[in-house]
Amino acid sequence: MDSNSGSSPLIGIVGPCGSGKSTLIAGLEQHGYRCRHIAQEHSYVKQMWQVITKPDILIFLECSFENSTQRRKLNWTPADHEEQLRRLSHAYEHADIIINTNTLDESSVLAQALTYLKKRL
């Protein structure tokens, strides 16, 4: 199934800063999934996530400006967040699953991802 290594599928995680990418990756890896953090929000190349990572499954984590800045203690403007969302738009459009992290705790985000992956794989 995985064209990258011939072993388990590669799960790509993408989303704006503060959306919970690192936390979700840690949780998925504890369940035996192979994951890659995709820092697409910092790239001007809209399909960078496809070029560098080539994930078998792409998970997009949504997060509001308010939650991003609160979680990461960022000194941003709303325009900074909007720019990240613009850079992420291609990944958003191609995501296999989109999880809105605004109202979910870490375990609920992980549970949604695990449920999806168990059905998909």
Count of structural domains, the chain: 1
Q: Has residue 58 been placed in a domain?
A: yes
pLDDT at 72: 83
The answer to whether 118 touches 6, Cβ cutoff 8 Å, is: no
pLDDT at 42: 63
Which residues of the chain are modeled with pLDDT < 70?
A: 1-6, 41-44
Bridge partners of 109? none
Domain that holds residue 15: 10-120
pLDDT at 6: 52
- Token readout for 109 is 């985000």
pLDDT at 9: 95
Assign residue 50 the CATH number of its domain. 3.40.50.300
pLDDT at 43: 65
pLDDT at 4: 43
Q: Has residue 57 been placed in a domain?
A: yes
Q: Has residue 22 been placed in a domain?
A: yes
